[in-house]
Chain A
Amino acid sequence: MEKSAIVVENLSKSYGARRSLQGLSFRVPLGSISGFVGPNGSGKTTTIRTLLGLVKATSGEAHVLGHHINKPGAYLDRVGAMIEGPAFYPMLGARENLHIFATMSGVRNLNYGELLESVGLAGKGNDKYKTFSLGMKQRLGIAAALVASPDLLILDEPTNGLDPDGITEIRNLIQSLARQGRTIFISSHLLAELEILCNYFVIIKAGQLIFEGYSQALLQSESGELVVQPEFAVDLSALLAIAIRHDFPASIQAGSLHIEGAATYAADFNRWASEDQIYLKSLHVNSSTLEEKFFDMSAQSS
């Protein structure tokens, strides 16, 4: 079985009468960039807090980097986290704040300049945190999560408040961290961003799992739509006939033929068209976006 950085089994958490997590189970593969998706109040932050030992689960179990969450001291040295946005001492500078967190982590001789540069805060080390913009605070939050050079990085809304350039920089940083073999677990509402970044998804709603798996399984299901455009528009009706001949429901829309449930038949369709002397200008699978999938799954689970 594939090794997992996080394993959650039947986890429940109640705050009085309110049940935040209801038997949640999922796993996060080692070395993956996993997206943690769910609407507000679905239990994402509670799950993250539980994994980090900040909140005690009412029932169920979880393991982080092979250690039970009852003993967070056994694994937290190998975990970097930014939970519910960055949090620092406003009266101190960026470098001083990082120094405090590094000292608490038992980290010495950290190259603060390099760390700040890696998150796009070069030259800002002596600026007080309270003078930072939201984007700069986010960057510093990610830098703080990296002070102990963690194997597992848990980030809650890491690109919140960043401009497009900043989002791209943080995306590149996260991808480079993943290439170094680290596991990244990201909770975010920016679904388009997660779609680009993540190769594994955990989707929850009302404290329960509604999907868990690799992005291909989520976004490129067999029921996907194949969109075919012939070289000459006059061949559209002939292409429609080919689709019907092979039992695929299809329709002509804006100069293209849309064939339902044929996502895995692209090569076959290209060959069938060629056999009938029809040459294709374009052929692509119309995958669902993460956003569409998320709304579909949310609606189904309701």
Chain B
Amino acid sequence: MNRSQHSIILAVTRAELRKFRRPSFLLTTYGAITALAMVIVAFAWMHAHSAAEAGQTQTMNLITGYQMSLFFLGVLCLCIAANHCAQEYSYGTLRVVLVRANSKSAFLVGKAISLVLYIFLLNAYTFLLSTVVSLFFSERYHMRLTAALPHQHFLKYALTGIEYLLCGFVGTCALGIFGSTLGLIVKSPALAISLGLLWSLIIESALGSALARVNPWLPCVNFESLATRASGVSALSYQHTWMMSTFYMTGFMVLAWVLFRRRDVSQ
């Protein structure tokens, strides 16, 4: 009895999610994002409070905390994705799972879906956490609620929030796809994570500083800009970041798929 591609994809997704569900992994990732998001949001509000007391205009709202946390969330997603893909080679499990899943394409799609779901959950959690922490600080510093919200009406706030969450999710997913591709290329978790961090944190920053005109075309700059809804340091246009991010994401996915399909599984 041959299984259909979609049933294999579903099976792989379920199996991969089971790996994500292990307590030690959940505790590490959610613990890290909780600590970082709380610290970042708290500092942002304390800074805004100091600025308001000094009579300066403050620009904080409930979403600013989430946007500021996205940088670390993106880095975390890159590391998780790179490790998630490369560990199949380093543990030697790829040869076993491919015999079981018996379709390279379905395996890759299932793995990608599980990763995207996990990144979405991380984003949603960070969004909720930063919103709750922001509400707490807005009360603590007696800042007017209207000043803490982008819009006066709840519905508008909800729609704006969803839009920001979507941008954050796509931007961090793009970094995850970048990490996955690196993991599949170099086949080593440590090397894939190192290369990913080196490129996104150091090489792109150096390139952007040395050659300002290449900045709008660099992948991670665009991903970060998209995640923060074009309000990051690069201040690229919203349309441009969507276009470039889509281009790079498609490119990385095609590269990963071609490499994975063509290469022999010799490990």
B19 adjacent to A104 (CB under 8 Å): no
A-B contact pairs, 14 of them (CB 8 A): A49-B265, A49-B266, A53-B98, A54-B98, A55-B264, A56-B264, A73-B103, A76-B99, A83-B99, A89-B91, A103-B15, A104-B15, A106-B3, A148-B100
The B contact surface, by secondary structure, is: helix
Nearest residue, chain A, Cβ from B266: A55
Q: Please, which residues of chain A bring their CB within 8 A of the CB of B99?
A: 52-54, 76, 79, 81, 83
Distance in Å: Cβ of A40 to nearest Cβ of chain B:
16
Q: Please, which residues of chain A bring their CB within 8 A of the CB of B25?
A: 91
Bound-state Cα–Cα, A119 to B14, Å: 26
Distance in Å: Cβ of B29 to nearest Cβ of chain A:
13
Interface 0/1 of A85-98, CB less than 8 Å to B = 10111111000100
Indicate the size class of the contact surface on chain B: 20 to 34
Bound-state Cα–Cα, A52 to B3, Å: 16
Partner of A144, one of B18, B19, B96, B264: B96
Residues of B within 8 A of A (CB): 1-3, 7-8, 11-12, 14-15, 18-19, 22, 24-25, 87, 91-93, 95-103, 264-266
Distance in Å: Cβ of A131 to nearest Cβ of chain B:
14
Q: Please, which residues of chain B bring their CB within 8 A of the CB of A144?
A: 96
B2 adjacent to A99 (CB under 8 Å): no
Residues of A within 8 A of B (CB): 49, 52-56, 72-74, 76-77, 79, 81, 83-85, 87-92, 96, 99-101, 103-106, 144, 147-148
Q: Please, which residues of chain B bring their CB within 8 A of the CB of A96?
A: 18, 22
Q: Please, which residues of chain B bring their CB within 8 A of the CB of A100?
A: 15, 18-19
Partner of B11, one of A76, A87, A91, A105: A105
Known: A89-B19, A100-B18, A101-B97. A106 touches B264 (CB 8 A): no
Partner of B95, one of A54, A76, A91: A54
Distance in Å: Cβ of B212 to nearest Cβ of chain A:
44
Bound-state Cα–Cα, A76 to B24, Å: 33
Q: Please, which residues of chain B bring their CB within 8 A of the CB of A148?
A: 100
